[in-house]
Structure 1
Amino acid sequence: MLRRGRRPRQGFLGVEGEAESPRRRGRTAVLVAVILTAVIVGVSAFSVGRLSTLADPMPVSTSAEAGFARDMQVHHDQGVQLGLLIRDRSIDEAVRLLGYDIVTTQGQQSGQMFGWLSVWGLSQAPPEASMTWMTLPGSTDGTHDNAGAHQPGDPMPGLATDAQMASLTAASGVEADRIFLTLMIAHHEGAIDMAEAVLDRTGNSVVRSFATAVVASQQSEIKLMTEMLAARA
């Protein structure tokens, strides 16, 4: 019970003590379910990777595994930046919760890939232009092989431009929500493109588990964000 003379406390998900509508509870429940799925998939991939590290040969500095680890760190770090921007600009609890999840999940995964390079004894700095590893021929079944679709030094797929980042920075409220969801859908699609590319170029069990988890979790979030964007059109 709220004491007389005190204002309701505003929490991360809304006003304390305020009854939620069934529709609002339903949207929040769907979002939480997607986030929990992403966390479970990510933890499973991390655990499998830890157990199988000793069985995998060490990648070389110009390998697809090393290139993926470096470039996906950059990609994920921008995802964290986008999540932080919307957290401070949105008044929509569902959008802010999604942004917070992206910040924590992609920040942890970026650190994980930093750790790979350290364990492999490789430099964090790339010895060649970004995206070079995506021009390597596929080395597995070629299901998603896209050699030739990218050129060394090309922008990473789905990476927001400086102008797009500035647009989100200047926005607020529903306008910021729309910009964020649009940029993050494209960002996730680009991450899936990169994850599928490394799956066609590596037999390393750590990298394969991680990339498979990225594809599954980000496809799920794309579906959710597409629905969220349509509801805010």
Structure 2
Amino acid sequence: MHLKRPFVALLLGAIASGPLLLAGCSTFSQSPNGHSMPIGDSSMADHEMTMDLGPKDAEFDLRFIDGMILHHQGAIAMAEAVLQNSQRDEMRQLAQEVIAAQQSEIDQMQQWRQDWYPNASAEPVMYDAQMGHTMAMPPEMQTAMRMDGGLGKADAEFDRRFIDAMIPHHEGALTMAEQVLEKSARSELRQVAEDILATQQTEIDQMTQWRQDWYAQ
């Protein structure tokens, strides 16, 4: 099963230079896909990031839950920006669907975390490949996992910026979901992964079509 999908990273200095993996993010390299993602008032160079949640071990499911909750929270934040700034009915409908689906999954995963890992710290965790173990996810890594950099003001290019940010964001979720199907034995998580793969690939296809229709790209 394919486990490497290009997507735009929130490339913080600590991630680019340090040995830690963002919930297992292992490599960064120049990407030819032409996407860019603004963070606040700064524009990001294009990058490729490979998501790796670590080995099939007793904490794999916990790492997935923590990584995907943060990732979903980032998607919801961007979707809420659409409701504030986009005038397109199609975009607003997509945003509402993202918020509804991903908040439901967050709620479910938070309950599973409590049920399955009652002794786990409240802090989200990640896999440190260099050290070979699970560790607490630093704040800057949590920010990067969310991938919800500022999309800017409500101008003529807002919808394009959202599309260019949300497509790679969804691709990151697909990569993590694929790993669940390979490494998790829990039927509940496998079903969530299947749902993510189906729903978010459909949304990627739709946004790709909108970009072609609206921006000839």
Q: How does the TM-score come out when normalised to structure 2?
A: 0.62
Deviations 1:155-202 (A, max 9, x none): 5887526xxx22x1x221431100111111011000000111122111
Bigger CA drift: 98-107 or 61-70?
Answer: 61-70
Deviations 1:31-52 (A, max 9, x none): xxxxxxxxxxxxxxxxxxxxxx
1:118 to 98, 105, 114: 114
1:90-169 alignment, distance < 5 Å: 90-122=86-118, 123=120, 125-126=122-123, 128=125, 130=126, 132=127, 159-160=146-147, 165-166=149-150, 168=151
Q: Counterpart amino acid of 1:92? A: R
Deviations 1:82-105 (A, max 9, x none): 000011000111111111111111
Contact 1:70 1:124 in 2 (8 A): no
Q: Which residue of 2 aligns with 1:203?
A: 185
Report the structure number with the largest CA radius of gyration. 1
Q: Work out the CA distance in 2 between the residues paired with 1:66 and 1:180.
A: 29
Q: Work out the CA distance in 2 between the residues paired with 1:191 and 1:83.
A: 15
Q: Work out the CA distance in 1 between the residues paired with 2:96 and 2:121.
A: 26
Instruction: Report the RMSD for the aligned CA atoms in angstroms.
Output: 2.7
Greater strand content: 2
Q: Which residue of 2 aligns with 1:75?
A: 71
Q: Work out the CA distance in 1 between the residues paired with 2:83 and 2:181.
A: 32
Unaligned runs of 5+ in 1: 1-60, 136-151
SS of 2:87's partner is coil
Q: How does the TM-score come out when normalised to structure 1?
A: 0.58
Q: Work out the CA distance in 2 between the residues paired with 1:155 and 1:226.
A: 28
Matched length: 150
Larger RCO (CA within 8 A; separation ≥ 6): 2
Deviations 1:129-159 (A, max 9, x none): x2x18x6xxxxxxxxxxxxxxxx87958875
Q: Work out the CA distance in 2 between the residues paired with 1:96 and 1:174.
A: 15
2:80 to 71, 80, 84: 84
Q: Work out the CA distance in 1 between the residues paired with 2:182 and 2:197.
A: 13
SS of 1:174's partner is coil
Q: Work out the CA distance in 2 between the residues paired with 1:95 and 1:65.
A: 32
Q: Work out the CA distance in 1 between the residues paired with 2:124 and 2:201.
A: 31
Contact 2:72 2:146 in 1 (8 A): no
Change (3 A) 1:124 1:217: farther
Q: Work out the CA distance in 2 between the residues paired with 1:73 and 1:190.
A: 13
Unaligned runs of 5+ in 2: 1-56, 130-136
Change (3 A) 1:124 1:231: farther
Greater helix content: 1
